[in-house]
Chain A
Amino acid sequence: MNGLIALVPIPTPNMDLGQIAPLEIVFGAALISVLVEAFVRREGRRRVQLVLVFASLIAAVAALVGLAGTRTLTAQASVAVDGPALFMQGTVLLLAIVGALLIAERSIDPAGDAFAPRASALPGGREERELTAAGWSQTEVWPLFLFCVGGMLLFPASNDLLTMFVALEVLSLPLYLLAGLARRRRLLSQEASLKYFLLGAFSSAFFLFGTAMLYGFAGTFSLGGIADALSGNAGDNGLVMLGVALLAVGLLFKVAAVPFHQWTPDVYQGAPTPITAFMATCVKVAAFGALLRVMYVALGGVRWDWQPMLWIIAIITMLVGVIVAIAQTDIKRMLAYSSIAHAGFILLGVIAVSEAGIASTMFYLAAYGFATLGAFAVVSLVRDSSGEATHLSQWAGLGKRSPVVAGIFTLFLLAFAGIPLTSGFTSKFAVFSAAIAGGATPVVIVAVFASVISAFFYARIIVLMFFAEPAEEGPRVVLPSAFTALALAIGVAVTVLLGVLPQPLLNLAQQAGIFLR
């Protein structure tokens, strides 16, 4: 027996801890955060959690900067550390920092932060009323947030399908919970949470099924291994096609592409607004990172097969997004459909299948992320006695009452519409030109058409805010604390800067280069 053990040594996992330092920092902080929930006294908990969250996110950014230029596979080749991964992770971390500022906001709602005092209390019940009256608030949102961010860091860096699936679950499960934590309109929030969970589980199953198919074909989960198997076996691959389609369902669900988008408006509307902002930006970045990696690294060899599929998905995503957005009467639902349409635009970068495609997708994600965070921050400021005033009719004449806030929102809307001198123009230009270079001119024509339609509903809100008479008893704009103010300032600054002086970030995205396999 002894001899046998000696003959078959258990291989030491090849794991360079320094190369996955950002992941370690965030997951470590998440674990500590759980302990803080358990052991730190209630009065000091929030402060400790905030210090922990911001310190760990900033430390992770610093660790990421230290890794700049690294190109290697680590952790038994299950995690790739390459330019695109680092860029995506950096984007996620910076957006998460701004998102955390919104989550930390406590002075907008007179009752406290945006989250339910006790998630398990019955909505509208006696317990909830008492807790609210006592000024109770929970900090469990922070460990969930950190786990989620950790999953988002791993998702675009996963180099095999199994790690990717684990990352997908790590980022999704906390999100399902976070979506259900709203302090106001709790039933809507819980409904959103449940729907998101059910449909998310459904899509995860698709992803897993696709993974199984590809494993069946290639005999490996590794993205590079699948690519090798594909290049070695060009003929018979019915398993591959099934696998590609099912894997795509899982990923397209996360980026909210049509027809896997229907959860988006309901969840965006129901979730607490800071969580919606976080979800609409960071999840999109992480999911597009993973989509790009799977499609480019593992399935690059069969791109002639999947490109037409993504062409069609991109076209219907853009069209459905912009067309349905027109008829929306709720600002959060409108932003949800707008985010669906933007997912379609970003898909243009994916179908380019080129280095420019990667760079433009990453630029778009960063630019869109900061504008979106800012837009949702503004949404959280416009309130009436029952909470956020999200019905569009309540926004009439906002520009007359609060010109600064309406002006900031206008800037974000212009960026969404892709008007020059905002980040939206630069990013649209980048993905459009990458897609044209990649031979997808018909899709770009549809995209331009969709941009025109989208300009209509963005402009409609601007007109509503500035040229309509304010409603009687209309909502008021709450003066936020430094958290939201800082988040708004960052959003405005990035949106303008990337519109006026996009070159540094474009250069950075181009330097990120291609995926490692």
Chain B
Amino acid sequence: MNIGTAVFAQETVLAPANGTFSLIWLLIALPALGAAILLLGGRRTNAWGHLLGVLMPVASFVVAAFLFAAMLGQPAEERGAVQHLYDWQIVGAFKVPFSLQLDQLSMVFVLLITFVGSLIHIYAIGYMAHDPARRKFFGYLNLFVAAMLLLVLADNYLLLYVGWEGVGLASFLLIGWYQYKDSAAVAAKKAFIINRVGDFGLSLAIMFMFAVFGGVTFETVNAGIGSASEGTATWIGLLLLLAACGKSAQFPLQAWLFDAMEGPTPVSALIHAATMVTAGVYLIVRSNAIFDAAPTARLLVLIVGCISLIWGAIIGCAKDDLKKALAGSTMSQIGYMVVAAGLGPVGYVFAIFHLLTHGFFKAGLFLGAGSVMHANNDKINMRHLGALRTVMMITFVTFGICTLAIMGIPPFAGFFSKDDIIKAAFSQSPVAGVVTLIGAGITGFYMTRIFLMTFLGKARWEDDQHPHESPAVMWIPMVVLAIGATIGGVLMWPSHWLETWLEPAVPYQEHAQTLPEWLWIIITVGTALIGILWAVALYRREVPVTPPAGSLLTRAAREELYGNEINETLTMLPGQVLTRSSVFFDNRVVDGFVNGMAAVVWGVSGALRTVQNGFARSYALTMLGGAVLLVALLVLVRL
């Protein structure tokens, strides 16, 4: 521990926070205060609760903007700051600083979380207007924002874990928001349980780090990883990957994300698209030193990313539920980020870049989906939608822009970020390159399918459906996000601003360009166009209201490629067998032994009791016997 601290002191690059940077704690404190007031204040806060709920993330965003401006005013190497709040002494020598670290990587996350978070809070005012418990909803959302900010601002893994569990809790509460519906309650539990698997990986990784490096701060771990064996680094890397898979819905822990769509749509937009599910990517990028030292773990990251990318995309192609189709897309797009993170220093920056643009266009898509639901009596089956273009012009346009962005059509944001990942993937591994390219094609297909089925074609509305445009409080955030999805590319083009900005915190290594730029554009955009045209060819015709039987793949994709069945066979069944047999063992063997022992002890107790006869003389005799015993023992030891 002491050695670790000494190393920490020498290698600290981040200055202690002072001046403007002493405000870092406010970022978290504001939404946390909001959550506390709204959740503890009870019904008294009903009237103005939603306004306070919006104010807090907005205020947090203002603080973030201040800090961002202050960081820009510093030279690149001195931009990071660590704010030490107090020492969190858990037990014995296990002491963890309760410190917040604001560096360039954290900053972009803070901006994304507070900005997109604020927009979605505003949107929720309109979306949740008729919910009797709207105030509690905002309390949970604020809780989520606070936990998510803690996750990205922690300067050590244990504090990150606190935020990690905090967002998990908020996610659980919000997925199960409509708790009177069985499906929502089950979905919340499912998300929670599958996330436990990942969280277990993270907690094991933290224990591992403490055992190996004697500390869990990023500095200690980064300093120690150089001298650790590759096996150690690989184990820690794999455990972190497990954690990332759980939180980011990557293969094989993806099954919960589709059910998570049971939550209100602002939740799907904020938690299950823009921010929380990207925490796994953050974790991998933040732990880049560990993955640099563990090639095997990094390769597995790449593989997991590739599988998830295709897996999610295929599911997205077959779902008729608009939100579930978008969930498949989320899994697939996070797969892109994980692929980029798995490429190492070549890809980290692109992972973050895609994460940011995805935060905008995917949030925009979900808010659009929410707007559609709001307008159509909460109907979300695309087979009962169609022709919404005529009645929901703003939703149509913003959804359309975000669709173009996610498909990677220039000049929208997704084009730049996805293009970068595909190029980087090709430079490192042709297989990964081909997978990302195929993914781009499938993305074009499923997004076109969603767009056509929802907004174009003939109206397949049911009698009680009277679509209408959403109120301004809902469409303004959608417009802002669409603008972000349009111009987000400027982060990397024409200047490589994001890369330069992240450089001190996230290592970057330029990869060799094999093909000229224009050829790349033709290849990637061309692939996306193939997907788009294929979907147009298929869905130009009339869409049947009842789903057709479909091919084997379609049917599998509708069942989420049997992810649930795989989980049930591989983990649930053995678990149940284990539980039953251990209950049997407990009843027959353990209890039998315990009861037998109890009888023996009881008997001995009764016998010993009779020695306690109340006569001082026999007590004295016992003492004398004891003294003789002691002398005898001492003499015996001598012998």
Contacts and interface: CB of A to CB of B under 8 A. Distances in A.
B626 interface: yes
Nearest to B614: A266
B91 A263 contact: no
Interface in B602-632: 602, 604-606, 608-609, 611-612, 614, 616, 619-620, 622-623, 625-627, 629-631
Interface in B307-323: none
Given A248-B630, A327-B609, A456-B598, A259 B622 contact: yes
Interface in A301-342: 304-306, 308-309, 312-313, 320, 323-324, 326-327
B634 interface: yes
Contacts of B634: 241, 244-245, 305-306, 309
Instruction: Give chain A's interface residue range (CB within 8 Å of chain B).
Output: 35 or more
B616 A265 contact: no
Interface residues of B, number: 30
A503 interface: yes
A245 B637 contact: no
A249 B611 CA distance: 20
Given A308-B637, A309-B630, A249 B623 contact: yes
B465 interface: no
Contacts of B545: none
Contacts, number: 89
B403 to A, nearest CB: 54
A323 B608 contact: yes
Given A244-B634, A308-B633, A324 B612 contact: yes
Contact of A262 (B89, B91, B92, B619): B619
B200 to A, nearest CB: 21
Given A195-B616, A245-B630, A306-B634, A326 B601 contact: yes
A469 B634 CA distance: 52
A248 B628 CA distance: 12
A20 B92 CA distance: 33
A343 B623 CA distance: 17
B383 to A, nearest CB: 55
B519 interface: no
A421 B638 CA distance: 43
Nearest to B597: A453
Interface in A178-211: 194-195, 198-199, 202-203, 206
B619 A241 contact: no
A258 B635 CA distance: 20
Given A241-B631, A242-B631, A260 B602 contact: no
Nearest to B634: A241
A199 B609 contact: no
Contacts of A313: 630
B627 A199 contact: no
Contacts of B633: 245, 308-309, 312
Contact of B619 (A199, A242, A453): A199
Contacts of B629: 259
A246 interface: yes
A253 interface: yes
Interface in A218-260: 241-242, 244-246, 248-249, 252-253, 258-260
Contacts of A199: 616, 619-620, 623
B602 A259 contact: no
A326 B623 contact: no
A249 B630 CA distance: 8
B89 to A, nearest CB: 6
A244 B633 CA distance: 11
A246 B616 contact: no
* Main SS class of interface, B: helix
Interface string A252-296: 110000111011011000000000000000000000000000000
B626 A260 contact: yes
Contacts of A198: 616, 620
Contacts of B601: 323, 326, 453
Nearest to B91: A503
Interface string B274-316: 0000000000000000000000000000000000000000000
A247 to B, nearest CB: 10
Interface in B564-606: 598, 601-602, 604-606
B610 to A, nearest CB: 10
Nearest to B89: A503
Given A199-B619, A263-B619, A327 B637 contact: no
A194 B614 CA distance: 12
A345 B626 CA distance: 19
B557 to A, nearest CB: 48
A203 B602 contact: no
Contact of A246 (B91, B622, B627): B627
A304 B634 CA distance: 10
A357 to B, nearest CB: 17
Nearest to A328: B609
Interface string A60-104: 000000000000000000000000000000000000000000000
A206 B626 CA distance: 11
Interface in B541-562: none
A347 to B, nearest CB: 13
A194 B623 CA distance: 17
A241 B638 contact: yes
A245 B631 contact: yes
A265 B609 CA distance: 11
B605 A259 contact: no
A315 to B, nearest CB: 12
Interface string A493-510: 000000000110010000
Given A199-B616, A246-B627, A248-B630, A241 B635 contact: yes
Given A245-B627, A323-B604, A324-B608, A195 B637 contact: no
Contacts of A253: 623
Interface in B85-109: 89, 91-92
A265 B612 contact: yes
Given A262-B619, A305-B634, A503-B89, A206 B627 contact: yes
A305 B633 CA distance: 9
Contacts of B609: 324, 327
B605 A326 contact: yes
A241 B628 CA distance: 12
Nearest to A311: B633
B637 A262 contact: no
Contact of A327 (B92, B605, B630): B605
B637 A259 contact: no
Contact of B612 (A262, A308, A312): A262
A324 B605 contact: yes
A502 B609 CA distance: 37
Contacts of A326: 601-602, 605
Given A324-B609, A326-B605, A203 B637 contact: no
A265 B614 CA distance: 10
A336 to B, nearest CB: 10
Interface string B39-73: 00000000000000000000000000000000000
Contacts of B91: 502-503
Nearest to B622: A259
Given A202-B620, A245-B631, A305 B608 contact: no
A80 B627 CA distance: 29
A253 B604 CA distance: 23
Contacts of A308: 633, 637
A89 B3 CA distance: 37
Given A241-B635, A249-B630, A260-B626, 14 more contacts: A202-B623, A241-B638, A245-B631, A245-B634, A252-B626, A259-B626, A265-B612, A304-B637, A312-B633, A313-B630, A324-B608, A324-B609, A453-B601, A503-B92
18 contacts: A199-B619, A241-B634, A244-B634, A245-B631, A258-B626, A259-B623, A259-B629, A260-B622, A262-B611, A265-B612, A266-B612, A308-B637, A312-B633, A323-B604, A323-B608, A327-B606, A453-B601, A506-B92
What 8 A-B pairs are tightest by C-beta distance, nearest first?
A259-B626, A245-B630, A327-B605, A262-B619, A245-B631, A309-B633, A241-B634, A326-B605
